[in-house]
């Protein structure tokens, strides 16, 4: 997964702070040791002096200088460890303590991202996906077929299979999904299920309700004070691995919204970036509310999933009230 520059910089700044914290801790311990054990500080001076002395001998052609240096440094190291232990300090107290021992809080091991960097990436993606709290309860582990029956169950089962295949082939095949149908039938739930699976795999997923999306696009276009702040997320809207537009049709629709929606969908299509749209509108209402080219773009380039049935939220409320 490719992070944006701002995302990468944010993670690296956190590593720099961790390294500073480790250095401050080590410097504090060194100061404490020097104050309590003056002989330890003297041994450190000897280490520096001997290293310089033997280095000069080595440059002068003395072949025994390096083995002698190693031997003397070992002896001084043993004396230092003994002094620490005699005065109640741990023998390794001067060794910097990092939050990640693999990369020493650099984020990289042998020029490759450390596992802690990967974890930071995923956490950052969750934070920026706008659905972190939703994914705790709306995921494939929480999926239930209990609220469907008959033809409604068949449609939901087919939609689940489409979602699972979408996740499985995400890195290989460019696909888009369009969920429509009656209120409360699982459209947003299934989009969240997909989002969690892909975020956990390290993909950049961004989720917006339609009203949030067009509010951001409006600010980046018309509001000078907000344009700079909105420009970064506007770029991500076009470039993220998966964009989820939830509840299309709940926004105040006008010519600006229609043009921005087409521009967004078209840009993502040209870049082969996947998009999921959920709506309570019928296909006819979609065509009447937006332009023909938007309707054509969606019906031509999206897998269409229709969900029907009783409102699951109402079913849950009724069940809870009857307990």
Q: What is the CATH number of the domain that holds 314?
A: 3.40.50.300
* Residue 117 located in a structural domain: no
Do 221 and 292 belong to one domain? Answer: yes
**Half-sphere exposure in the Cβ direction for 308 (13 Å, CA):** 8
Rounded mean pLDDT, 5-14 = 85
For the four alpha carbons of 158, 161, 167 and 168, in that order, the dihedral sign comes to negative
> Residue 230 has what pLDDT?
45
Tell me the C-alpha distance between 186 and 184, whole Å: 6
Whether residue 120 is predicted with pLDDT greater than 50 in this model: the reply is yes
> Residue 223 has what pLDDT?
52
Angle (CA) 142-146-150 rounded to 5° is 135
- How confident is the model over 219-262, as pLDDT tens digits? 766 555 444 444 456 677 888 899 999 999 999 888 888 999 99
CA 192: distance to chain centroid?
15
Do 29 and 139 belong to one domain? Answer: no
Confidence of residue 322 (pLDDT cuts 50, 70, 90): confident
Which is more confidently placed, 1 or 171?
171
Do 177 and 30 belong to one domain? Answer: no
Do 100 and 161 belong to one domain? Answer: no
For the four alpha carbons of 115, 168, 127 and 214, in that order, the dihedral sign comes to positive
Confidence of residue 319 (pLDDT cuts 50, 70, 90): confident
- How confident is the model over 297-307, as pLDDT tens digits? 999 999 999 99
* Residue 115 located in a structural domain: no
Backbone angles phi, psi at 310, to 5 degrees: -80, 150
> Residue 229 has what pLDDT?
42
Do 93 and 238 belong to one domain? Answer: no
* Residue 36 located in a structural domain: yes
Do 223 and 263 belong to one domain? Answer: yes
Distances, alpha carbon 317 to alpha carbons 190, 240, 303, 323, in Å? 20, 36, 32, 10
Tell me the C-alpha distance between 323 and 213, whole Å: 39
Residue 244: beta bridge partners? 207, 276
HEC string of the chain equals CCCCHHHHHHHHHHHHHHHHHHHHHHHHHHHHHHHHCHHHHHHHHHHHHHHHHHHHHHHCCCCCHHHHHHHHHHHHHHHHHHHHHHCCCCCCCCCCCCCCCCCCCCCEECCEECHHHHHHHHHHHHHHCCCHHHHCCCCHHHCCCCCCCHHHHHHHHHHHHHHHHHHHCCCCCCCCEEEEECCCCCHHHHHHHHHHHHHHCCCCEEEEEHHHHHHHHHHHHHCHHHHHHHHHHHHHHHHCCEEEEEEECCCCCCHHHHHHHHHHHHHHHHCCCEEEEEECCCHHHHHHHCCHHHHHHHHHHCEEEEECCCCHHHHHHHHHHCC
Number of independent structural domains in the chain: 2
Backbone angles phi, psi at 106, to 5 degrees: -100, -20
Rounded mean pLDDT, 199-224 = 79
Which of residues 109, 139, 173 is at a domain's end?
Answer: 109
Which residue is associated with the tokens 């300090």?
89
Which domain range does residue 41 map to? 5-109
Check: pTM over 0.75? Answer yes or no: no
> Residue 126 has what pLDDT?
66
* Residue 58 located in a structural domain: yes
Do 105 and 253 belong to one domain? Answer: no
Whether residue 197 is predicted with pLDDT greater than 60 in this model: the reply is yes
Tell me the C-alpha distance between 82 and 90, whole Å: 10
Distances, alpha carbon 147 to alpha carbons 152, 154, 182, 197, in Å? 9, 12, 14, 23
Rounded mean pLDDT, 48-63 = 89
Percent of the chain with pLDDT over 70: 92
Tell me the C-alpha distance between 271 and 143, whole Å: 32
> CB neighbours of 139 closer than 8 A, spacing ≥ 6?
192, 193, 196, 197
Q: How does the average pLDDT of the chain come out, rounded?
A: 88
């Amino acid at each position: 997964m490719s992070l944006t520059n701002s995302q990468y910089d944010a993670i690296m700044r956190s590593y720099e702070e961790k390294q500073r914290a480790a250095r401050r801790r080590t410097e504090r311990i060194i100061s404490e040791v020097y104050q309590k054990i003056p002989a330890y500080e003297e041994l450190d001076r000897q280490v520096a002096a001997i290293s310089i002395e033997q280095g000069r001998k080595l440059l002068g052609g003395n072949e025994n200088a390096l083995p002698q240096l190693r031997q003397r440094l070992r002896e001084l190291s043993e004396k230092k460890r003994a002094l620490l232990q005699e005065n109640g300090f741990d023998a390794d107290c001067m060794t910097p303590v990092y939050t990640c021992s693999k990369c020493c809080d650099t984020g990289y091991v042998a020029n490759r991202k450390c596992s802690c960097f990967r974890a930071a990436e995923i956490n950052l993606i969750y934070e920026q996906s706008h659905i972190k709290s939703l994914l705790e309860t709306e995921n494939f582990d929480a999926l239930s077929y209990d609220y469907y029956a008959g033809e409604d169950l068949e449609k939901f089962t087919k939609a689940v299979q489409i979602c699972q295949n979408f996740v499985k082939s995400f890195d290989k095949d460019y696909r888009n999904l369009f969920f429509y149908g009656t209120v409360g039938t699982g459209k947003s739930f299934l989009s969240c299920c997909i989002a969690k699976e892909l975020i956990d795999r390290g993909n950049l997923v961004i989720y917006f309700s339609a009203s949030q999306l067009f509010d951001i696009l409006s600010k980046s276009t018309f509001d000078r004070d907000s344009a700079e702040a909105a420009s970064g997320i506007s770029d991500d809207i076009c470039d993220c691995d998966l964009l989820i537009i939830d509840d299309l049709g709940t926004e105040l629709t006008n010519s600006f919204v229609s043009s921005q929606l087409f521009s967004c969908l078209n840009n993502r299509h040209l870049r082969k970036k996947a998009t999921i749209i959920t709506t309570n509108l019928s296909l006819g209402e979609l065509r009447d509310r937006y332009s023909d080219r938007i309707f054509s773009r969606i019906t031509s380039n999206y897998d269409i999933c229709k969900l029907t049935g009783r409102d699951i939220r109402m079913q849950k409320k009724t069940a809870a009230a009857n307990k």
